[in-house]
């Protein structure tokens, strides 16, 4: 199970803008991510590649964790993301991330947000 300090470290890396680095350092090799009800993406290398692809389409991403809860192997984080794409269009995403940790790494993560606004 993760410590509060480990979760706070993860949050700090994401808030610094190093989203792909956070996946590399804090996810298990066989980790999965799922957007709302879409099928999950599985495998850390693929997750990193997907994240880098998204970030390549952005001029700026600002990430802020508003609240986080650690309960045993489960972590919930309320995120706000403001993303400006290469064309200059900015969108705001209000998201809940539900994580299952194995030891000090994220094994499974599911995101809940309004897909119409993302």
Helices (H), 64-116: none
36-49 residue pLDDT tens: 999 999 999 999 99
Q: Of all helices (H) and strands (E), which one includes residue 64?
A: strand 58-71
Spatial CA neighbour of 77 closest among 86, 65, 88 = 65
pLDDT in tens, the chain (118 residues): 999 999 999 999 999 999 999 999 999 999 999 999 999 999 999 999 999 999 999 999 999 999 999 999 999 999 999 999 999 999 999 999 999 999 999 999 999 998 766 6
Order of all β-strands in the sheet with 74-85: 41-42, 27-35, 105-112, 90-102, 74-85, 58-71
Instruction: Give this prediction's pTM.
Output: 0.93
Percent of the chain with pLDDT over 70: 97
Q: Give residue limits of the domains in the chain.
A: 4-112
Burial of 65 (0-12, 13-18, 19+ CB in 10 A): middle
The dotted CATH code for 4-112 is 3.10.450.50
- Digit-coded pLDDT (tens) for 56-65: 999 999 999 9
- CA geometry: angle 35, 41, 43, nearest 5 deg: 140
CA-based radius of gyration for the chain: 14
Q: What local confidence, expressed as pLDDT, does residue 116 receive?
A: 67
User: Which DSSP helix (H) or strand (E) runs through 55?
Assistant: helix 44-56
């Amino acid at each position: 199970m993760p410590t509060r300090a480990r979760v706070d470290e993860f949050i700090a890396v994401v808030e610094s803008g190093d989203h792909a680095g956070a996946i590399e350092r804090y996810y298990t090799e066989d980790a999965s991510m799922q957007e709302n009800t879409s099928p999950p993406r599985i495998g850390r290398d693929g997750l990193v590649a997907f994240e880098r692809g998204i970030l390549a389409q952005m001029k700026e991403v600002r990430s802020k964790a508003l609240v986080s809860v650690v309960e045993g192997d489960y972590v919930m984080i309320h995120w706000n993301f403001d993303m400006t794409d290469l064309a200059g269009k900015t969108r705001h995403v209000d998201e809940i991330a539900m994580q299952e940790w194995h030891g000090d790494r994220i094994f499974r993560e599911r995101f809940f947000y309004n897909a119409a606004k993302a």
